[in-house]
């Protein structure tokens, strides 16, 4: 089958959707060698992705940057349909909420979550307006829809009026780079990042939905009410609406160490996951929750917000809290410091849970969705 995937998420530094797009394409190409897999984008790929082309990718996986002409600049209206007709694409997979408006070939749409609709106050207003306008059109245009969890499948059906039989659950997975790492190498990485104490870790784009302000408040309560002095390390690129978070960080008093690393490499992130006292994920809303699963793959004990999607993905291997309750969040962190046996128990459970997920499994399930879409 000739399959094209939306490569636009690979035109900027990779975060959640970019990793999903690339890992899925790679796993599809490796597991289905008779298929032609193409990542197509009207924007140039980042240098990191472009450098992989031909050198280390499977032969049946290609990166195709289409410098659209004036007519084709409205990519999903004109450019993509034109490309599909020219090249004989048999199925298009919109990995980032969008497919062609025109039904040129069967299409599959991944809806990672509905935060733009359900939590509009945590996003830029222009993105919210775009989502409210386009997402209902996209779910109607797609042949089939993929969601990463049952929680998001339910939301798509309920809030967008989609028939349940049109939506298929396909879980995601941690990347293989994330596994327990060499402690000696970790120490050097941590030194290079300016970290020289035990620490709790949070990972994600710095934006309101990640609820990092609550984590900072819980951390400050921990420092103020106990003799323990761990650091709080937050790794991730800056997003938007950061004033409240910055205000709380700036209020840090003596003995409080809140360390922002910025965007980090996979190797640095692996060391951060592998060496932390605990990984804390207080996000208000997630479609799947890759960071806590990546942390689990590295053996980190995980504290997560008790929301349906995270309970579904993390199972019994995490410590769940109401992350809007500052005292509950603080108590969970304190428990990991003062109860090494619990920390070790969660660490072992983490690795076992993460082993249940793989990109090979994700690719096989996705390929089955493609076959179903072609028959419709």
Q: What is the pLDDT of residues 192-237, one digit of tens each?
A: 999 999 999 999 888 888 999 999 999 999 999 999 999 999 998 8
> Is 136 found in the same domain as 221?
no
What is the count of structural domains for the chain? 2
**Over the stretch 1-11, which tens digit does the pLDDT of each residue have?**
999 999 999 99
> Is 266 found in the same domain as 119?
no
Q: What is the predicted pLDDT for the residue at 121?
A: 87
Looking at the whole model, is its pTM more than 0.85? Answer: yes
CATH of the domain at 302: 3.40.50.2000
Domain with 253, as residue range(s), is: 183-354
pLDDT of residue 97 exceeding 80: yes
> Is 342 found in the same domain as 369?
no
Q: Report percent pLDDT > 70 for the chain.
A: 97
pLDDT of residue 71 exceeding 80: no
Asked whether residue 178 is domain-assigned, the answer is no
Q: pLDDT-derived band of residue 304, with 50, 70 and 90 as boundaries?
A: very high
> Is 212 found in the same domain as 140?
no
> Is 195 found in the same domain as 343?
yes
Q: What is the predicted pLDDT for the residue at 68?
A: 67
> Is 94 found in the same domain as 158?
yes
> Is 331 found in the same domain as 305?
yes
> Is 204 found in the same domain as 63?
no
d(CA 87, CA 89): 6
Q: pLDDT-derived band of residue 69, with 50, 70 and 90 as boundaries?
A: low
**Over the stretch 321-365, which tens digit does the pLDDT of each residue have?**
999 999 999 999 999 999 999 999 999 999 999 999 999 999 999
Q: pLDDT-derived band of residue 14, with 50, 70 and 90 as boundaries?
A: confident
Long-range contacts of range 162-171, CB-CB < 8 Å, 24 or more positions apart? 166/142, 168/144, 168/365, 168/369, 168/372, 170/146, 170/362, 170/365, 170/366, 170/369, 171/288, 171/313, 171/357, 171/361, 171/362, 171/365
């Amino acid at each position: 089958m000739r399959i094209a995937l939306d490569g636009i998420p690979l035109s900027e530094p990779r975060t959640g959707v970019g990793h999903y797009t690339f890992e899925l394409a790679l796993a599809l190409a490796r597991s289905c060698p008779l298929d032609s897999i193409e990542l197509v984008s009207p924007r140039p790929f980042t240098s990191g992705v472009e450098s992989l082309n031909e050198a280390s990718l499977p032969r049946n996986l290609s990166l195709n940057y289409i410098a659209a002409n004036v007519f084709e600049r409205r990519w999903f209206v004109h450019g993509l349909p034109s490309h599909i007709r020219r090249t004989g694409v048999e199925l298009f997979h919109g990995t980032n909420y969008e497919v062609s408006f025109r039904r040129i070939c069967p299409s599959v749409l991944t809806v990672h979550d509905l935060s733009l609709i359900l939590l509009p106050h945590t996003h830029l207003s222009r993105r919210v307006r775009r989502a409210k306008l386009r997402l209902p059109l996209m779910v109607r245009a797609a042949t089939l829809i993929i969601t990463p969890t049952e929680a998001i499948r339910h939301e798509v059906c309920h809030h967008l009026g989609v028939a349940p039989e049109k939506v298929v659950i396909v879980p995601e997975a941690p990347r293989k780079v994330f596994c327990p790492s060499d402690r000696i190498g970790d120490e050097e990485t941590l030194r290079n990042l300016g970290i020289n104490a035990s620490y709790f870790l949070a990972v994600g784009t710095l934006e309101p939905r990640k609820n990092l302000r609550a984590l900072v408040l819980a951390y400050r309560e921990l420092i103020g009410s106990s003799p323990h002095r761990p650091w709080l390390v937050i790794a991730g690129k800056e997003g938007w609406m950061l004033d409240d978070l910055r205000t709380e960080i700036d209020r840090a008093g003596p003995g409080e160490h809140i360390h922002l690393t910025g965007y980090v490499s996979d190797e640095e992130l692996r060391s951060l996951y592998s060496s932390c006292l605990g990984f804390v994920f207080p996000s208000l809303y997630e479609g799947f929750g890759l960071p806590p699963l990546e942390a689990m793959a590295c053996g980190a004990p995980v504290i997560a917000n008790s929301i349906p999607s995270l309970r579904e993905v993390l199972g019994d291997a995490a410590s769940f809290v109401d992350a809007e309750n500052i005292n509950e969040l603080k108590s969970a962190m304190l428990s990991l410091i003062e109860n090494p046996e619990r920390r070790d128990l969660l660490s072992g459970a983490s690795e076992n849970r993460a082993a249940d997920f793989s990109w090979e499994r994700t690719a096989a399930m996705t390929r089955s969705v493609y076959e179903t879409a072609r028959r419709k």
